[in-house]
Amino acid sequence: MIEHEQALRPGAVQAWRDAIRQPTMRGPFLLVLLLTLLLLVFAALKPLGLMPRAAAIFPLWLHTLTELAAVLVALLVFVAAWTAQGRERSLNITLLGAGFLAVGLLDLAHLLSYKGMPEWLTPASPQKAIVFWLCARYLAAAVLLVVALKPDSALLGEAQRRWILLAFVGLGGSCVALGLAWPDVWPPFFIEGQGLTPVKIAAEYGLVLMLLAAAGLLVRQTVRARYSSADLAMAAVISVLSELCFTLYANVDDVYQLLGHAYKVIAYAFLFRAIFLFAVRQPYERLSQEIAERRQAERRLEFLAYHDPLTALPNRALLQDRVEQAIAEARRSGRAAAVLLLDLDQFKHINDSLGHGVGDELLRQVASRLAAVLRATDTVGRLGGDEFAILLRDVDGQAGVLRSLAGLQQTLAEPFFIGKDEVHVSASFGVALAPQHGSDLETLLGRADAAMYRAKASGRNTYRFFDLHMQDAVLHRMDLQSGLATALQRGELELHFQPQIELATGLMVGAEALLRWRRADGSLVPPALFIPVAEESGLIVPISAWVLHEACAQAAQWPAIAGLQPVVAVNLSALQFRQGSVEAVVQAALGSSGLAPQRLDLELTESILISDPASVLQTVSRLKALGLSLSLDDFGTGYSSLSYLTQFPVDKLKIDKSFLQGFGQTRSDTVIVEAIIALARSLGLKTIAEGVETAEVAQGLAELGCPLAQGYHFARPMPGAAMLAFATEHAAAATTGKAPA
Ligand code: C2E
Ligand code: MG
Ligand code: MG
Closest listed residue to residue 530, CA positions, set 591, 487, 582, 587: 487
Tell me which of 657, 669, 688 to substitute to probe ligand 1's pocket, judged by most ligand atoms within 8 Å of the beta carbon: 657
> What is the tens place of the pLDDT at every residue in 649-662?
999 999 999 999 99
Q: Is the same domain home to 212 and 350?
A: no
Cβ atoms of 187 and 213 within 8 Å: the answer is no
Last residue of a domain, one of 224, 258, 275: 275
Distance 529 CA to ligand 1 centre (A): 11
- Tell me the CATH number at 389: 3.30.70.270
Distance 571 CA to ligand 2 centre (A): 5
Q: Is the same domain home to 251 and 192?
A: yes
> What is the tens place of the pLDDT at every residue in 291-325?
888 998 888 888 888 999 999 999 999 999 999 99
Structural domain span for residue 230:
2-275
Q: Is the same domain home to 429 and 505?
A: no
Say yes or no to pLDDT of 9 above 70. Answer: no
Nearest atom in ligand 1 to the alpha carbon of residue 547 is 41
Q: Is the same domain home to 674 and 645?
A: yes
Last residue of a domain, one of 216, 250, 275: 275
Q: Which residues line ligand 1 (CB under 6 A)?
A: 498, 514-515, 526-528, 531, 544, 547, 571-573, 603, 633-634, 657, 690-693, 711-712, 717
Count CA atoms within 13 Å of residue 364 on its CB side. 12
Is 304 a member of any domain? no
Minimum-distance ligand to the CA of 636? 3
Cα angle at 244 between 242 and 246, to 5 degrees?
80
Distance 603 CA to ligand 2 centre (A): 6
Is 300 a member of any domain? no
Is 305 a member of any domain? no
Q: Is the same domain home to 240 and 343?
A: no
Cβ atoms of 516 and 494 within 8 Å: the answer is yes
Cβ atoms of 516 and 492 within 8 Å: the answer is no
Give the pLDDT score at 740.
46
Q: Is the same domain home to 181 and 51?
A: yes
The stretches of 46-123 forming alpha helices (DSSP H) are 60-82, 91-112
> What is the tens place of the pLDDT at every residue in 603-646?
998 878 876 778 889 999 999 999 999 999 999 877 777 777 88
Tell me which of 493, 514, 637 to substitute to probe ligand 1's pocket, judged by most ligand atoms within 8 Å of the beta carbon: 514
- For ligand 1, atom 13: residue with the closest CA: 691
Say yes or no to pLDDT of 8 above 70. Answer: no
Question: Pairing between strand 629-635 and 652-655?
Answer: parallel
Give the pLDDT score at 532.
85
Tell me which of 570, 571, 585, 600 to substitute to probe ligand 1's pocket, judged by most ligand atoms within 8 Å of the beta carbon: 571
Is 681 a member of any domain? yes
- For ligand 1, atom 7: residue with the closest CA: 691
Say yes or no to pLDDT of 529 above 60. Answer: yes
Give the pLDDT score at 274.
87
Is 219 a member of any domain? yes
Per-residue three-class SS string for 655-722: ECHHHHHCCCCCHHHHHHHHHHHHHHHHCCCEEEEECCCCHHHHHHHHHHCCCEEECCCCCCCEEHHH
Q: Is the same domain home to 488 and 451?
A: no
Cβ atoms of 561 and 728 within 8 Å: the answer is yes
Is 123 a member of any domain? yes
412: three-class secondary structure by DSSP: helix
What Cα–Cα distance (Å) separates residue 116 from each residue in 112, 452, 632? 9, 101, 116
Minimum-distance ligand to the CA of 709? 1
Query: Whats the size of the chain, residue-wise?
Result: 741
- For ligand 1, atom 46: residue with the closest CA: 571
- Which uninterrupted H or E stretch holds 382? strand 379-384
CA dist., res. 326 & res. 16, Å (int): 63
Cβ atoms of 263 and 58 within 8 Å: the answer is no
Last residue of a domain, one of 433, 466, 499: 466
Is 233 a member of any domain? yes
Give the pLDDT score at 372.
95
Question: What is the number of structural domains in the chain?
Answer: 3
What Cα–Cα distance (Å) separates residue 349 from each residue in 354, 389, 608, 658? 8, 21, 12, 28
340 bridge partner residues: 390, 431
- For ligand 1, atom 5: residue with the closest CA: 690
Q: Is the same domain home to 265 and 354?
A: no
Q: Is the same domain home to 604 and 722?
A: yes
- Tell me the CATH number at 706: 3.20.20.450
Distance 647 CA to ligand 1 centre (A): 26
Cβ atoms of 403 and 367 within 8 Å: the answer is no
Distance 611 CA to ligand 2 centre (A): 18
Q: Is the same domain home to 560 and 699?
A: yes
- Which uninterrupted H or E stretch holds 2? none
> What is the tens place of the pLDDT at every residue in 556-614?
999 998 889 999 999 999 888 888 789 999 999 999 999 999 999 999 988 788 767 78
Give the pLDDT score at 275.
84
CA dist., res. 587 & res. 651, Å (int): 19
- Tell me the CATH number at 80: 1.20.1070
- Among 60-74, 397-411, 449-463, the minimum mean pLDDT is found in 449-463
Question: Pairing between strand 190-191 and 195-196?
Answer: antiparallel
φ and ψ at residue 734, rounded to 5 degrees: -65, -40
Say yes or no to pLDDT of 725 above 90. Answer: yes
Whole-structure pTM value: 0.52
Q: Is the same domain home to 446 and 587?
A: no
Q: Is the same domain home to 679 and 646?
A: yes
Nearest atom in ligand 1 to the alpha carbon of residue 572 is 44
Is 290 a member of any domain? no
**What integer best gives the mean pLDDT of the chain?**
88
CA dist., res. 48 & res. 41, Å (int): 11
Give the pLDDT score at 702.
96
Tell me which of 690, 710, 726 to substitute to probe ligand 1's pocket, judged by most ligand atoms within 8 Å of the beta carbon: 690
